[in-house]
A and B are shown apart, each in its own frame.
Chain A
Amino acid sequence: MTAAKPGIVPNAANRSFWEGAGRGELVVLRCQVCGFLAHPAPDRCPRCAARALAPRRMSGYGTVYSCTIIRRAFHPGFAAEIPYVLAMVELQEQAALRVVSRVVNIAPEAVTVGLAVKAVFVPEGAFGLVLFEPATEGAAR
């Protein structure tokens, strides 16, 4: 028997991120006044404070800002998946715009800081998870 993973519990700051992933889109919030992209986003734009954030689809391309191989389960729901690679991925649309995710379809030890990646999606009910895989042609699969 495996323990349940913690599910997706959307809130106002991240609902469009989870819903977007369910459609196969990487979505962050964009300020309609100053254009700043934010993830996660609080109640209003972190740069100009305008209350004008709207979901915006990203290309899904980015680079690994940092990563770690999870070698022991910090939650019983993930015990069957170790080892796996957690990463912060910096999206190509804006400097320092990062999402926490997993890098998949590559040997864990082969994931390095700076690796070019692209988004892949795993549906979860009405929502979904944005994961990443190597973006280059010759990358391990």
Chain B
Amino acid sequence: MSARGRPVAIAGIGYSSVHRGPSPSVESLTTDACLAAIGDAGISARDVDGIFEYQIGHESPKCHYVQRVVRTGDLAAYADIMGTGASGLAAALAAVDAVASGACETALAFRGMEQQAGNTGSAVGAPVIQAGGSPMHDELVAPFGMFGIIPAMAMRMARRQFEYGGKPEDYGHIALNARRWAALNPRAVQRQALTMAEYLDARMLCDPLRLLDCDYPVSGACAVIITTAERARDLPHRLVGVAGHAQATGGGDWVFGDDFLYGGAPKCAERLWGRSGLGPADMELAQLYDGFTYMTLTWIEALGFCKFGEAGAWLDQGRMIGPGGRLPLNTTGGQLAEGRLHGLSFLAEAVLQLRGGAAARQAGDPRAAVVAVSSGPQCGGMVLLRD
């Protein structure tokens, strides 16, 4: 059962095409994904009475735009969620709450991405002054030459090395795993195999963080349809229910927070397992955020698949998480290899796998899956259970 209120299911998933370089507009991609999700759910757009979306800042269309273009019904519940949320999954988490509470009956959640020009993590001008400071404290760190999240991730890796040890290959196994799965996913943008030697030789951006520790920016969109389990039983697909969902913020800070290494992830995991009544041993599939390989390692540990600091050994040279492994992980290739659809694609893929519909990359016949996204003060997750 869900944490509170009416039991909720993920009834539809949809993607746009995914692009490197020139692409249709983000409005067009977003509309494609939303229509695909509605079609996949077997409902009419008029049945949608809630829309939730997440964006960093005006880079993708908002709820009202999608309402007009997709021609949904009047919206009983909606929210345009700001960039401090739990990446694209934040939209689905809000949709689950809205449906569970009865604020709306059938909600659309989407994330539209437009690939940024230039290098990810770069800055050109002065930091934008935000009331209360930016999430990364740009105003306090930029004068020293710190920009964006990449150096903050590198410093987490260096601190983790100091506290727990481990090897660069621990991160490398996450990168290699992404390519193994992506080879089976026609939508993925990075499908060629990657060797550990190639990973280790990748350009160092900020020691010890390499280029191949970073996800791949793309243009594309992903959407899901969330409705009551009762309604979903009458729809075409096998029922995939939300057994638990949670967010957590830890110390509420990317740079100066109390738990520099894990942020809100341990608390998010505690809530997920507590609310779902399930635990890591029950999971047959995991979709764990890989904006950076570091984030995936820390989710593995925070969710209790192994002890803190031990993910490197647990990965078993990648055998644990690859095709045929005990815990198939990021079966689209994740953001590292499918491309950065930003959080929501982990949910869509979990649903597809639980239905048994993932074609060449279908990972057995999983019944329970965990999805966890972002990191630091923006953690969110869901536990899904197929009927």
Contacts and interface: CB of A to CB of B under 8 A. Distances in A.
Contacts, number: 112
B359 to A, nearest CB: 39
A78 interface: yes
A39 B255 CA distance: 11
Contact of B155 (A3, A67, A71, A124): A67
Which of A13, A66, A102 has the most B CB atoms < 10 Å from its CB?
A: A66
A124 B204 CA distance: 31
A71 B147 contact: no
Given A68-B155, A75-B147, A84-B145, A11 B206 contact: no
Interface string B7-48: 000000000000000000000000000000000000000000
B156 A66 contact: yes
Given A100-B140, A100-B146, A66 B125 contact: no
Interface stretch (B126-134, B190-198, B272-280): B126-134
Interface string A34-59: 00000110100000000000000000
A14 B145 contact: no
B310 interface: no
Given A66-B156, A66-B162, A113-B158, A74 B123 contact: yes
A40 B124 contact: no
Interface string B254-267: 01101010000000
A68 B129 CA distance: 25
Q: Give the size range of A's interface with the partner.
A: 35 or more
Contacts of A101: 144
A70 B124 contact: no
Interface string A14-48: 10010000000000000000000001101000000
A69 B209 CA distance: 9
Contacts of A131: 144
Given A65-B159, A68-B155, A113-B158, A40 B209 contact: no
A131 to B, nearest CB: 8
B385 to A, nearest CB: 39
A101 B144 CA distance: 6
A26 to B, nearest CB: 14
A14 B132 CA distance: 11
B143 interface: yes
A72 to B, nearest CB: 6
Interface residues of B, number: 42
A3 B147 CA distance: 15
A6 interface: yes
Given A42-B132, A68-B209, A113 B159 contact: yes
Given A42-B132, A71-B207, A74-B150, A88 B140 contact: no
A6 B143 CA distance: 6
A78 to B, nearest CB: 5
B144 A74 contact: no
B324 interface: no
Contacts of B206: 68-71, 86
22 contacts: A6-B126, A6-B142, A14-B140, A42-B133, A66-B162, A67-B155, A68-B154, A68-B158, A68-B208, A70-B151, A76-B124, A78-B145, A81-B145, A86-B146, A86-B206, A87-B155, A88-B155, A98-B256, A100-B137, A113-B158, A124-B143, A129-B144
Interface of B: 119, 121-127, 129, 132-133, 137, 139-148, 150-151, 154-156, 158-159, 161-162, 203-209, 255-256, 258, 260
Q: Would you list the 6 A-B pairs with minimal beta carbon distance, nearest first? A: A68-B154, A74-B147, A113-B162, A66-B159, A66-B155, A6-B126
